[in-house]
Amino acid sequence: MPHTPVRDFMTSEVASVTIDTPLSEVARKMRDERLSCLLVMSDGTPQGIVTERDLTRLAANLLSGEAAGSLDDLMTSNLITFHEDEDCDDAVGVLHKHRIRRLVVVNDEGKTCGLITRADLLKGHSCKIERQRDGLEQRVRERTKELEALNSKLTELTITDPLLGVGNRRAMDQALEELYERTRRYKRPYSLALVDVDHFKLYNDHYGHQKGDEVLISIATTIKNTIRVTDSVYRFGGEEFLVLFPEVGAQGGMMAAEHIRQAIENLNIEHIHARRGFVTSSFGVAEENIKNPDQLHTISVADQALYAAKENGRNRVEKMPEADSPALKNAG
């Protein structure tokens, strides 16, 4: 439990008298100021304590004809003191052990710095419990935050391609399903592009698979940095990517794909077996049918467009063929 020193809960302004104070003045002071006790001090050091019980005993003695005596005779001199840095719970133990109601609190020099009672210690104990509760709640919040971060990281790992840092097929399927539902229910358009790295097998055969992985990482990063915040990119398989363009038709998808194609070309990655001498990419773009959405058919049409891009010389963007196009008829 947290440490709760008695100095945080003691009464620091303690009424006191000196050892030579007359008993009549002591009684008057306690009566007028309605005090339950008075410390008897000598140069800041506690010498004893006078309580209401002591005054009652004095009155009884006087009624019995006994002499009043002095303050030294009346006070309790074997004081039990307690250091201001000690814990409130320990002070409670001292009170119980000695069957007393209050403790004189002293500092390192033995000088009086306050007085603490059972009521004060009860406040201290309650404060300690409250601090402990707050500490536990804080740890629970921190642990919950850590678990949420771990869960978020685990979720990210399940939907992210570990090499390229883009969405994997699972993430792609989720995104396509969400766009499909949006199109089906609200007639919202979207288009997609299939991207293929041209002559990638030849690149791997000549430069090695490690260099091939570096090329894919560069291209994935380039696509992520080129598309809009609302767009997304996924590894479709091998050297192929799929890019989603929400709220964009075929024409807008063509423009976005061309922007990506140019950015990949501008990387100027050497490829001696490519016709242009550097790495290029081909794109096939298709728009979802708003009236009769079918994401699998849309991907198939984009694949046909990608095939056309390769047939027409690579490093180019082709869109979804028209309804009477042989490519579309073959796709069906």
Catalytic residues: 239
E-state strands within the chain = 16-18, 37-42, 45-51, 81-83, 102-106, 112-117, 190-197, 232-237, 240-246, 281-287, 317-318
Q: How many CB atoms lie within 10 A of CB 93?
A: 12
User: Tokens 């030849």 appear where?
Assistant: 202
Q: How far apart are the first and last CA of the chain?
A: 73
CA–CA gap between residue 3 and residue 13 (Å, rounded): 23
Q: Which two tokens stand for residue 172?
A: 């792609």
Rounded Cα gap, residues 96 and 114, in angstroms:
20
- CB environment 82-92: b (16+ within 10 A), e (fewer): bbbebbbeebb
Tokens of 322: 């028209």
Per the DSSP assignment, residues forming a β-bridge with 286 are 192
Residue with tokens 């009236």: 291
Residue 321 · residue 304 · CB < 8 Å: yes
Amino acid identity, position 176:
L
CA 176/CA 10 separation, integer angstroms: 68
Q: CA triplet 60, 63, 67: central angle to 5 degrees? A: 90
Distinct helix (H) and strand (E) counts, the chain: 11, 11
